[in-house]
Amino acid sequence: MDLKTTRNRIQVFLLLLPGILMFSIFTVYPIIKLFVMSFYRWELGSFHKQEFIWFQNYSAVLSDEVFRISFINTLLYTIITVPGQMILGLLAAVLINSLPRFQIPFRVIYYLPVITPWVIASLVFKYIFNTEGMLNYILYEVLHLTNRNIAWLDSRWSGMFVTEILGIWKGVGWNMVVFLAALKSVPMELYEVADLDGCGSIKKFLYVTLPCIKNTILFAMVMLTIGGFNVFTSIKLITDGKPLHRTETVLTWMYYKAFRSGKFGYAAALSFIVVVTLILLAALQFRIMKNRNEEGFI
Which among 50-58, 78-86, 109-117, 287-295 is the span making contact with other proteins, rule CB under 8 A?
109-117
Instruction: Pick between residue 108 and residue 193 the one whose CB is nearest to other proteins.
Output: 108
Please give the Cα distance from 248 to 116 (Å, whole number): 23
Instruction: By CB under 8 A, tell whether 161 contacts other proteins.
Output: no
Between 66 and 76, name the residue whose CB sits nearer to other proteins.
Answer: 66
Q: What CA–CA distance (Å, rounded) separates 68 from 46?
A: 27
Q: Are 277 and 229 in contact (CB under 8 A)?
A: yes
What is the greatest pairwise CA distance in the chain? 79
Q: Which of 41, 139, 262, 292 binds other proteins (CB under 8 A)?
A: 262
Q: Kindly write down the DSSP assignment for every residue of 12-29, as one continuous string.
A: HHHHHHHHHHHHIIIIIH
- Residue choice 60, 118, 139, 289 for contact with other proteins (CB under 8 A): 118
Among 95, 193, 284, 288, binds other proteins (CB under 8 A): 95
Decide if residue 54 touches other proteins (CB under 8 A).
no
Question: How near is the Cβ of 31 to other proteins at its closest, in Å?
Answer: 7
Size of the site for other proteins (CB under 8 A): 121
DSSP H helical ranges for 27-117: 29-37, 56-62, 65-97, 103-115
Nearer to other proteins (CB atom), residue 8 or residue 59: 8
Q: Which of 129, 221, 248, 253 binds other proteins (CB under 8 A)?
A: 129
Question: How many whole angstroms separate alpha carbon 117 and alpha carbon 122?
Answer: 9
Instruction: Work out whether 193 is an interface residue with other proteins (CB under 8 A).
Output: no
Angle at 145 between CA 143 and CA 149, to 5 degrees: 95
Residues 28-47 that bind other proteins (CB under 8 A): 28-31, 33-34, 37, 44-45, 47
